[in-house]
C-alpha cells in the first residue's frame, strides 16, 4: 500500500498535515482523547496512585499495627516478630528481685523440699535423736566411778586414778562438783564443789 509523503498536496493543501490535524482534533471524533489530553490524565492518575500508595504505606492501622508501634520485619504471617528475628537481644536475662513471691503465702511459695532443706518434722526428729545420743553419753560418763569420786573418797583413796584437766585459767571455768583442774596461770590444782574452786 502506497504511503503519502510529506508535501503531497491536493488542491494546494498538504495531505499529510491535514490528516495529522484531523487525528489530533477532538471533533468530529466525539469522546476521543487528544494525545496531550491523554498524557495530562495519565500524569494525574500516576500522581493520585503514588499519593494513595504513600498514604497507605504510612498508615499503621491499615496493617493492624496501632499507634506507637512499627511494622516489623518478621518471618511470621501475623506480623509478630519471631524470637530469631529479634536483633540485639541479650544472651542472659538477670531476674528482678522477687524473693517475696517465694516466701510462705507468696504467689510462688517454695517448700523446704523444693530447695533441699529439712522439713520441720524431720528437723525435730533429728534434734530429738541427737539429744538422746548426748543424754546416753552423759549417763555413761556419770556412771564412770573412776572419774566421779566424792570428796571423801578422793581424800582417803590412794590407788584411784583421777582425771585432771589442764587449763590456762580457772576464771572462765565452771566449778562443777568433783571436777579437778590444774590452772597453769597460777601453777595450782583446784577442785570444784559446785559453787567455787577450792
When divided into structural domains, the chain yields a total of 2
Residue 83 lies in a domain: no
Residue 104 lies in a domain: no
Which domain covers residue 18, as residue numbers? 9-25+32-61
Residue 80 lies in a domain: no
Q: pLDDT at position 47, please?
A: 92
Q: pLDDT at position 156, please?
A: 55
Residue 20 lies in a domain: yes
Residue 21 lies in a domain: yes
Q: pLDDT at position 78, please?
A: 75
Distance CA 102, CA 108 (A): 5
Q: pLDDT at position 151, please?
A: 53
Asked if residue 161 lies in contact with residue 154, where contact means CB atoms within 8 angstroms, the answer is: no
- pTM (predicted TM-score): 0.25
Distance CA 59, CA 119 (A): 61
Q: Please list the ranges in the chain whose pLDDT falls under 70.
A: 1-7, 11, 24-32, 58-67, 70-72, 144-161
Residue 163 lies in a domain: yes
Residue 68 lies in a domain: no
Q: pLDDT at position 75, please?
A: 78
The cell numbers describing 123, all together, are: 528437723
Q: Would you state the torsion angle of the CA atoms of residues 146, 151, 154, 155, taken in this order, to the nearest 10 degrees?
A: -170
Q: pLDDT at position 6, please?
A: 67
Q: pLDDT at position 94, please?
A: 87
Residue 183 lies in a domain: yes
Amino acid at each position: 500500500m502506497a504511503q503519502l509523503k510529506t508535501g503531497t498536496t491536493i488542491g494546494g493543501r498538504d495531505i499529510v498535515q491535514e490528516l495529522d490535524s484531523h487525528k489530533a482534533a477532538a471533533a468530529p471524533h466525539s469522546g476521543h482523547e487528544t494525545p496531550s489530553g491523554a498524557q495530562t490524565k495519565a500524569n494525574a492518575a500516576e500522581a493520585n496512585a503514588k499519593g494513595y500508595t504513600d498514604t497507605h504505606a504510612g498508615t499503621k492501622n491499615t496493617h493492624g499495627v496501632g499507634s506507637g508501634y512499627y511494622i516489623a520485619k518478621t518471618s511470621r504471617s501475623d506480623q509478630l516478630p519471631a524470637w530469631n528475628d529479634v536483633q540485639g537481644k541479650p544472651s542472659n536475662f538477670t531476674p528482678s528481685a522477687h524473693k517475696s513471691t517465694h516466701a510462705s503465702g507468696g504467689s510462688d511459695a517454695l517448700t523446704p523440699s523444693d530447695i533441699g532443706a529439712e522439713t520441720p518434722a524431720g528437723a525435730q526428729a533429728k534434734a530429738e535423736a541427737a539429744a538422746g545420743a548426748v543424754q546416753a553419753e552423759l549417763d555413761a560418763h556419770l556412771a564412770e566411778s573412776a572419774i566421779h569420786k566424792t570428796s571423801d573418797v578422793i581424800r582417803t583413796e590412794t590407788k584411784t586414778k583421777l582425771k585432771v584437766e589442764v587449763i590456762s585459767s580457772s576464771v572462765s571455768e565452771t566449778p562443777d562438783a568433783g571436777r579437778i583442774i590444774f590452772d597453769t596461770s597460777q601453777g595450782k590444782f583446784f577442785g570444784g564443789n559446785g559453787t567455787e574452786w577450792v
